[in-house]
């Protein structure tokens, strides 16, 4: 039996079966030919070798150049404790209204939060340090252990800064040091004198010698004589990517850069909406000098954000990685509060969105463009995409249609070229794109959806898959997750005439503290709120999961046209069962059924002629596939294969084994217009075929 994604036809029986299995309500799936009647095994009869017929002269559509991007929000300590360079936890003392959490006293001193001596309206509390018992031989002060540690690296310059004032009698000096947790090793230290009775900012550089990298360290500030001192915004930055002040961690930025992402969807996710209007991402509070940013409770994910990584920093992140911003604007819906009524009540939020767009794109003569210039970035940022809200289908009142319309009309009136993305069904306007999210909780459930766009209508709004992930593996996906993800990506890529953009979520997780209670529930101060995240890190190092590498493979071998490709005799395997793998789900359980075991998509770089054949073998056995290429004069006999494989679907990467499962590029011989290649068990392969 033959199947094709070009002739969008399928036998109703198998399609119906698959739809029933998946609980799908919209899109029919492709029929697949099968060699196996037994779930999970290949039959004893000699299996026909699957054949992939690539019609190299038939470009069915342009491959969307913006397909592979990133989605981000403050979750799992993504920014503070992650990408954002700040190393001090609770630097503004606002993480808890009654306690100076994450701060410790050193020596015979005491600390308390003080609202009577604020730095300013935004940072309206300070840390009072009573060091009246301090002496030269018995210094007293404060220490902060960062986000599960402070990284100390050899020959590295750290930038420490803080606001301080004294009772007017004490003038210093303060000793600022980077020391290990037991205080026995001081890696770098500096003195700060001239403390007065008025708030002033102090800055020092701390440079380490040729020390061994470590993370069980603290920033310590002490006095060697009696005094009372108040502190605010105590900060410590390591070198940042592109040396940006208030910038990002280089190792994580490099991981992202290596994915060659085309866009960044920000600032959320739930982080955009907050549980209440008060706790939404209120962008106007996230720009300007960081000492003027009040911060807010990220109550969707349960911890404080200083908003040090604010709107400008998101845009600069895009600039650094040459990605387009995809700016999600607050649309009057928070997760635990009735929505703002469309009409006059919604108008201030629409205006906020227009101002936000002006901040990003306006010239320096506009109000918000001028603010951006004052913030250090006179040049406007390119901006093509605005998303109105996030997952507004959860607003069961049905108000989204009217809210979207109000935003759409106001934005299009001023910025007719902006593409405006809807997050739920709307009928009053035609969105430029609609954002769809999916988080299947098994690789089979994800693989079962890999064909869902094949028969999707080619008219109507384009599709942005703004959040997708196979939720298998924690804290980061394992090879099973990567296989599900790769299968899904073949579907997005094959259909990237309508699926213009896609982004995995969540992007980041701090893996330092993954403790659970006896029922597996997250404990307070856990560093992960959502298991199965693309990139993991602790204070010192970071790593990409197998899914990260799968995306990197796809994104860096993209091509610009989708080639007509037929397949025959694709083997079948057991589909998702009621037994769940991984944790968390928003998908219905499905009973065991038959699914394709091999997935593919074929694109071509029309300028060089190179054909990229992506083949995902989800089976635990080698799978030969015959590849036939028509419509070209010749195919070189040697080429390259990028292969990521694992011995087991449970194989994964971690802080201690960061590159256990990674792609390997190999030279391949014996290629041509017709050849057979064996694809390893549990593997994702990209064949680069030089065709003329
Ligand atoms: O990616 C995690 C969360 O999943 C996002 O914040 C939200 O949009 C979705 O429900």
Average confidence score pLDDT of the chain: 92
Is the CB of residue 629 less than 8 Å from the CB of residue 674?
A: yes
Contacts of the segment 295-300: beta carbons below 8 A, 24+ positions apart: 295/92, 295/94, 295/122, 298/74, 298/75, 298/271, 298/274, 299/274, 299/275, 300/75, 300/268, 300/269, 300/270, 300/271, 300/273, 300/274, 300/275, 300/335
Which residue has the least CA distance to atom 9 on ligand 1? 269
Q: Which residue among 70, 73, 503, 529 is best mutated to probe the pocket of ligand 1, counting the most ligand atoms within 8 A of its Cβ?
A: 73
**What average pLDDT does range 637-649 have in this prediction?**
98
pLDDT confidence bin for 593, thresholds 50/70/90: confident
CA distance 86 to 256: 19
Tens digits of residue pLDDT in 216-269: 999 999 999 999 999 999 999 999 999 999 999 999 999 999 999 999 999 999
The pLDDT value recorded for residue 21 is 32
Atom of ligand 1 nearest to the CA of 437: 9
> Taking 90 as the threshold, does the pLDDT of residue 122 lie above it?
yes
324-329 vs 385-388, strand pairing mode: parallel
CA distance 534 to 17: 32
One-letter-per-residue 3-state SS of 210-235: CCCCECCEEEEEEECCCCEEEEEEEE
> Taking 90 as the threshold, does the pLDDT of residue 191 lie above it?
yes
Atom of ligand 1 nearest to the CA of 586: 10
Which residue has the least CA distance to atom 4 on ligand 1? 269
Q: What's the Cα-to-Cα distance from 450 to each of 27, 250, 477, rounded to whole Å?
A: 11, 34, 18
> Taking 70 as the threshold, does the pLDDT of residue 582 lie above it?
no
Mapping DSSP to helix (H, G, I), strand (E, B) and coil, where does residue 19 land? Answer: helix
CA distance 285 to 164: 23
CA distance 200 to 198: 6
Which residue has the least CA distance to atom 2 on ligand 1? 506
In this structure, the chain runs to a length of 692
174-180 vs 217-223, strand pairing mode: antiparallel
The rounded percent of the chain whose pLDDT value lies above 70 is 91
Nearest to 265 by CA among 328, 186, 355, 197: 328
Tens digits of residue pLDDT in 382-400: 999 999 999 999 999 999 9
The pLDDT value recorded for residue 370 is 98
pLDDT confidence bin for 578, thresholds 50/70/90: very low
The pLDDT value recorded for residue 104 is 98
**What average pLDDT does range 152-166 have in this prediction?**
98
Q: Around Cβ 617, how many Cβ atoms within 10 Å?
A: 26
Least confident residue range of 2-11, 37-46, 593-602? 2-11
- Residue 534 contacts by C-beta under 8 Å, 6 or more apart in sequence? 469, 476, 477, 504, 506, 507, 508, 544, 545, 547, 548, 551
Which residue has the least CA distance to atom 5 on ligand 1? 269
The pLDDT value recorded for residue 521 is 76
Q: What's the Cα-to-Cα distance from 366 to each of 287, 327, 359, 362, 380, rounded to whole Å?
A: 16, 19, 9, 6, 11
Residue 578 Cα to ligand 1 middle (Å): 24
Residue 145 Cα to ligand 1 middle (Å): 29
Return the H-helix or E-strand segment holding 489. Answer: helix 479-494
Least confident residue range of 46-50, 342-346, 626-630? 46-50
Which residue has the least CA distance to atom 8 on ligand 1? 269
> Taking 60 as the threshold, does the pLDDT of residue 5 lie above it?
no
The pLDDT value recorded for residue 45 is 61
pLDDT confidence bin for 577, thresholds 50/70/90: low
Return the H-helix or E-strand segment holding 645. Answer: strand 639-645
Residue 160 Cα to ligand 1 middle (Å): 34
Nearest to 287 by CA among 196, 215, 355: 355
Is the CB of residue 201 less than 8 Å from the CB of residue 163?
A: yes
The pLDDT value recorded for residue 520 is 76
Would you give the distance in Å from CA 674 to the centre of its chain?
40
Atom of ligand 1 nearest to the CA of 390: 8
Tens digits of residue pLDDT in 14-32: 223 233 333 332 222 223 3
CA distance 486 to 551: 7
Residue 270 Cα to ligand 1 middle (Å): 6
> Taking 70 as the threshold, does the pLDDT of residue 83 lie above it?
yes
Residue 122 Cα to ligand 1 middle (Å): 29
Tens digits of residue pLDDT in 172-188: 999 999 999 999 999 99
Q: Which residue among 391, 421, 583 is best mutated to probe the pocket of ligand 1, counting the most ligand atoms within 8 A of its Cβ?
A: 391
> Taking 90 as the threshold, does the pLDDT of residue 468 lie above it?
yes
Residue 73 Cα to ligand 1 middle (Å): 9
> Taking 70 as the threshold, does the pLDDT of residue 79 lie above it?
yes
Mutual angle of helices 250-258 and 311-321, in 10-degree steps: 50
Which residues are 201's β-sheet partners?
163
Tens digits of residue pLDDT in 404-461: 999 999 999 999 999 999 999 999 999 999 999 999 999 999 999 999 999 999 999 9
Phi and psi (nearest 5°) for 373? Answer: -65, -45
Pocket of ligand 1 (CB under 6 A): 73, 268-270, 390-391, 467, 505-506, 530
């Amino acid at each position: 039996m033959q199947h094709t994604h070009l002739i969008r036809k399928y036998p109703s029986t198998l399609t119906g079966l698959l739809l029933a299995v998946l609980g799908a309500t919209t899109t029919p799936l492709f029929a697949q030919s099968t060699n196996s009647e037994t779930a999970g095994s290949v039959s004893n009869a000699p299996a026909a070798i699957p054949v992939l017929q690539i019609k190299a002269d038939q470009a069915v559509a342009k491959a969307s150049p913006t397909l592979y991007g990133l989605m981000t929000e403050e979750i799992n300590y993504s920014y503070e404790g992650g990408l954002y360079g700040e190393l001090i936890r609770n630097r503004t003392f606002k993480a808890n209204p009654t306690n100076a959490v994450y701060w410790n006293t050193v020596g015979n001193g005491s600390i308390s939060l003080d609202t009577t001596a604020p730095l300013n309206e935004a940072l309206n509390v300070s840390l009072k340090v009573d060091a009246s018992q301090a002496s030269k031989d018995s210094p007293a002060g404060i220490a902060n252990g960062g986000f599960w540690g402070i990284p100390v690296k050899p020959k590295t310059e750290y930038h420490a800064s803080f606001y301080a004032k004294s009772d007017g009698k004490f003038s210093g000096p303060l000793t600022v040091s980077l020391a290990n947790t037991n205080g026995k090793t001081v890696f770098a230290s500096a003195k700060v004198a001239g403390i007065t009775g008025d708030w002033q900012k102090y800055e020092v550089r701390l440079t380490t010698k040729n020390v061994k990298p470590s993370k069980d360290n603290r920033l310590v500030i002490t006095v060697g004589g009696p005094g009372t001192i108040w502190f605010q915004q105590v900060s410590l930055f390591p070198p940042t990517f592109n040396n940006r002040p208030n910038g990002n961690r280089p190792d994580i930025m490099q991981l992202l850069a290596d994915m060659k992402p085309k866009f960044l969807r920000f600032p959320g996710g739930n982080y955009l909406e907050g549980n209440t209007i008060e706790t939404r991402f209120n962008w106007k509070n996230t720009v300007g000098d960081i000492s003027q940013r009040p911060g807010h409770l990220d109550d969707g994910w349960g911890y404080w954000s200083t908003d040090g990584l604010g709107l400008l920093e998101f845009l600069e992140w895009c600039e650094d990685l040459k990605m387009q911003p995809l700016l999600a604007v607050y649309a009057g819906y928070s997760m635990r509060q009735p929505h703002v009524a469309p009409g006059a009540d919604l108008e201030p939020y629409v205006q906020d969105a227009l101002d936000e767009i002006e901040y990003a794109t306006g010239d320096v003569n506009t109000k918000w463009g001028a603010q951006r210039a004052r913030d250090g970035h006179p040049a406007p940022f390119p901006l093509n995409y605005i998303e109105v809200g996030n997952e507004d289908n959860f607003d069961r009142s049905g108000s989204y249609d009217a809210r979207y319309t109000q935003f759409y009309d106001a934005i299009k009136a001023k910025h007719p070229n902006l593409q405006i993305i809807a997050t739920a069904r709307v009928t009053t306007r035609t969105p430029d794109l609609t954002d769809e999210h999916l988080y299947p909780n098994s690789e089979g459930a994800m693989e079962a959806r890999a064909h869902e766009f094949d028969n999707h209508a080619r008219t109507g709004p384009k599709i942005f898959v703004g959040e997708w992930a196979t939720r298998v593996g924690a804290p980061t996906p394992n090879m099973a997750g990567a296989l599900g993800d790769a299968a899904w990506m073949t579907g997005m890529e094959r259909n990237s005439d309508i699926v213009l953009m896609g982004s995995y979520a969540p992007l980041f997780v701090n893996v330092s503290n993954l403790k659970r209670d006896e029922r597996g529930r997250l404990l307070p101060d856990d560093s992960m709120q959502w298991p199965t995240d693309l990139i993991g890190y602790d204070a010192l190092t970071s790593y990409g999961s197998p899914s990260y590498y799968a995306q990197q493979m796809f994104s860096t071998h993209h091509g610009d046209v989708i080639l007509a490709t037929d397949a025959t005799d694709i083997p079948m395997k057991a589909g998702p069962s009621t037994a769940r793998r991984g944790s968390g789900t928003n998908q219905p359980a499905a009973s065991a059924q038959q699914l394709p075991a091999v997935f593919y998509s074929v694109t071509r770089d029309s300028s060089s002629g190179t054909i990229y054949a992506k083949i995902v073998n989800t089976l635990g056995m080698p799978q030969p596939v015959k590849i036939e290429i028509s419509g070209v004069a010749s195919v070189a006999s040697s080429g390259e294969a990028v292969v990521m494989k694992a011995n087991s679907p449970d194989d994964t990467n971690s802080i201690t084994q960061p590159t256990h499962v990674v792609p390997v590029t190999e030279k391949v011989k014996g290629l041509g217009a017709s050849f057979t290649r064996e694809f390893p068990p549990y593997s994702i392969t990209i064949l680069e075929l030089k065709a003329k």
